[in-house]
Amino acid sequence: MKHFRETLYDAICQEFRIDKLYYENRTEHQHLMIFHNARLGRVMTLDGVVQTTEADEFVYHEMLAHVPLFAHGQARHVLIIGGGDGGMLREVLRHPVEQVTQVEIDRAVIDMAREYLPNHSAGAFDDPRLNLVIDDGMNYVGTASEQFDVIIIDSTDPIGPGEVLFSEAFYARAKHCLAPGGVLVTQNGVPFMQPDELQHTAQRMRPHFADTGFFCAPVPTYYGGFMAFGWGSDNRELRQVALPVLQSRFDKARLKTRYYNPAIHQAAFALPQYMVDSLATTD
């Protein structure tokens, strides 16, 4: 019986039974695997780290898409950096946006996900509102002339090609691509296991946005409790939109969700004390 053993941490690891291997290869940028596991459905890994599984992807994708989009309330232009599996694009396109630009460094991730993980994108890559760019997100935000209402960083961990997406230079450049009153959100790891990532992002985002913070959600296959999502905006009100306003936007959108709802949206900004304490050391 073959198993996939995650190599993210030194002292601890999780292991998944490979019930059927669909794809394994080195792309131009990273080592990509897609396999089936009886409990989790299809699982995608990059460089030995679990990226997404069919069973729990809804928590991650709904929270990183719907929290900024419902907080903003009238986003028309959205930028996704990374997100090659297509789950984020699928959720963003459920909103009445005019255009989504997605910048993914690795075309092979998109191609293989469309073939072996089709429920993630669910046809989203064929949507005429998509402007797909194959490029390094760092390069893209340094050269783009367009501005976006919402920017979503759906990156890998800060290892390999994703490392640059956690740098202060990246946040500075991305800020220039944010329309006035817009919001940028990031995948920020699991603070219980990766406390440095939370602290570094706080320090690196703060100089570039009037309001920064984090919200969180538990994604079962990102081992170690809550995952944190970074938040940066010059509009301080976006982090505190009133519940009736969120509810009315949500009702109007008529979305069927499995994790997100307006009460969870608000509650997600309440951080556990170990995160509050960890962030206090960065002030």
Residues that bind ligand SAM (CB under 6 A): 51-52, 60, 81-85, 103-106, 109, 136-138, 154-156, 161-162, 164-165, 187
**HSE of 41, CA atoms in CB hemisphere, 13 A:** 12
Asked if residues 217 and 267 have their Cβ atoms less than 8 Å apart, the reply is no
From the CA atom positions of the chain, what is the Rg in Å? 18
Nearest distance, CB of residue 280 and ligand SAM, angstroms: 26
Nearer residue to ligand SAM within complex by CB, 158 or 195: 158
Nearer residue to ligand SAM within complex by CB, 178 or 241: 178
- In angstroms, what CA-CA distances link 217 with 72, 147, 186, 214? 19, 28, 13, 10
CA 5 to chain centre: 23
Nearer residue to ligand SAM within complex by CB, 18 or 159: 159
State whether the Cα torsion 241-195-226-3 is positive or negative: positive
Q: Which residues are catalytic?
A: 154
Nearest distance, CB of residue 82 and ligand SAM, angstroms: 3
Nearest distance, CB of residue 72 and ligand SAM, angstroms: 21
Nearest distance, CB of residue 23 and ligand SAM, angstroms: 14
217 CB-contact burial (10 Å; exposed 0-12 / middle 13-18 / buried 19+): buried
